[in-house]
Structure 1
Amino acid sequence: MSDPTTPVTAPVEAAGPGGQLAEPLGERAAGTLRLLVEGASGVLGRVLAAPDGLDVPVRGTVIHDPGDPLPPSPAAVLLLVGTDVTDPRACAVLRQAAGRGFTAAVVKERGQDPARLAETAEACGIAVLAAGDAVPWRQVDAELSCALAAYGIGGAAGAAPAGGAELFALADTLAAVAGGSVAIEDLDQNVVAYSKVPGQRIDALRERGILQRRVPDLPEQRGQYREVLAAPGVVRFPAYRDELARAAVAVRAGALPLGTLWAIEPADGLSDEAVAALRDTARLAAPHLLRALYSPETERRLRRDTFRAVLHGAGPPADEAAERLGLRPGTEFTLAAFALPAPARGYGAGPPGAVSGAKAGPGAGGGAGP
């Protein structure tokens, strides 16, 4: 059984078969749990269980709402939002996740003893990682996604920033079913995405929110937002003054509120199909909104991890890596590498900060760059 007190450090040296240390990051193929642990060490606290070691494949993340069934997700990492590590139901979810092909699960310990959960993980062959209790789940997902995306792995490689294509597509699909304009908002009432279906029913307030990318802060609306965020399902509001009737639902990752989803109702009201579509769209929007909320940090982390991957001879194709790093085709650049003296040799091994190599060449896939 793996030691449930193993801290996450970078790089992580996990023992392989026969007690041999697994190869370091630069010498093994990308897309493993080791890559994830090393690349997201800022949000992961320790490895609670790793029955098959860390050199197992990883192909993306899945956010799990305790009330939803687990989808088959080969080699995915399951984010168990709102899960108590001492609850027997958490062990049941782990067994189910292992049966559906998940590589690992991420939990928060919150001062609880994870020993039983770790034992279950060892028995069913799934790794368990602990995220920092103080780290928001949306940041955990963003960091893990960045660690994978830097190597061109997983659905996060094309993750949408705020206002990205996935959220707009969801808004359009819902508007086509509901018959009215749809807006997806974050918790600060910023309009992250909206529908653009021709002929959709819309009013002046929605138009203003779309143009300003923020919902006007009106006193009567504050109570509406509180009601929507507190409700387990769809909340409907009648027409008021110049506002058309609306239906809204909270967007959540587990118990974590991420924002709200609003649809203007058609003249004859929402159909049962539209109400169901509203709930389903909120569930589908959750992972995209989760990533969108942390897009500035995500982009910085993605650039850093992409550069690291390129230096290790891995990562996405040259043109894609160049775009992420902001290197224009044909641009001349110089790469300077600095090596600190090895601790075992002392400071006599070489001057601190000595340049170990420098090369100039054309960027964006010119062949001479990183």
Structure 2
Amino acid sequence: MVSDMPSSQRRTPTSGQGSLSRHCAGIVSGYTFRLIREQLGHTQDAMAEQLRVSVDTISGWESGRRPLTAVSVGQMLVQRHRLMRMGTLPALLQALERAIEADALLASALADGTAVDESPLGAWVMQRDLVGVLAWPLTGVPPQAVRDLPAPPKSRRRPVPTVPEISADDRRRFFERMRDTAERAQKPGQFLLRRQALYLAGYDNEADTPDWLAHQQATERPSDWLTDWLNSRSVAAVAGRQGDRDRMSYFIDTALADEAGEAANLNYWAYWLGEMAHLELSDDFIASRTPDVWSGHKLLAHLVQGLSPEHGYVDLNIRTLWALLGIRPNLVRSGTATRALRARLPVMLDSREISARARRELESIRYALRLAEA
């Protein structure tokens, strides 16, 4: 059973232990900046010369001792333009922007005295590129832009951290704050804040996390269909991430059983992966029965990449792929992703780990591909 006591009181070992750790304010952006320097093949001395700053400044940015979040917007733009001229990969430049934003969110979450209604987490609907960078120091899983990097031209002279380092105390504190924020965000207009705090809390690998999330869903009395749908998806997503496929299967069977649920699922995925060109300030767009104008190529590539029998989201990936090709049939004629899909289908259909429903959907996808080839 999960206690109704607020998390800030229930899990006390690190709660209220002072302010944010000294180096935590710039750890993600500092680490990302170091990756940029290494990809360019520069030493700190050479980087300092190119950016017209001192070596101590470069060292401070990379360590978090002088966080990039403290650099003025104007100066950051100047340095960004210099990094462009130096040949920095566009994906890494975007990752650096997200890392600065992630550091600001981490600082806000860990700072003492931040009121729930002042949390920036409820200001807009976050997307995968930001959440992936934000979760990086918490989970050790690099965002896609970093996973895709080639080996740097020069090897490192000494062992260095392989992820942005956050202390165990700060990591524990972050998840405590996310739980506390979710439990306290109960006022009208705070649903987005609560939902996103619940989502981030789901990255906690504590054994009680799935039950705590399910308890949060059970104690909420949604006043509308969309709130209930999003709550159900959050619980299913965390369960799937931790290997519990039963909750994900239940979500698919119940929440995606009609046109409204299918449309919401596609809207959610398309926004999450950046198919939509603009940011949303509320979740209301997810309830639209008519999909927005977006190509589906990013979504297709992501779903095909997730076609693996052991993937915790595999059933949801298959269902979403099946629905996507239903509304965007021309995607079966696209390039690299479709070739990868054709290669993955036999492997998936030979697997004994997928459900009967997923198998039927894969057979339908294979039939659509054959029709496209005819």
Give the TM bin, normalised by the shorter chain.
Answer: under 0.3
Going by fraction, where is helix more abundant, 1 or 2? 2
Going by fraction, where is strand more abundant, 1 or 2? 1
Question: Given the two structures, how large is their TM-score scaled by the length of structure 1?
Answer: 0.27
Question: Given the two structures, how large is their TM-score scaled by the length of structure 2?
Answer: 0.27
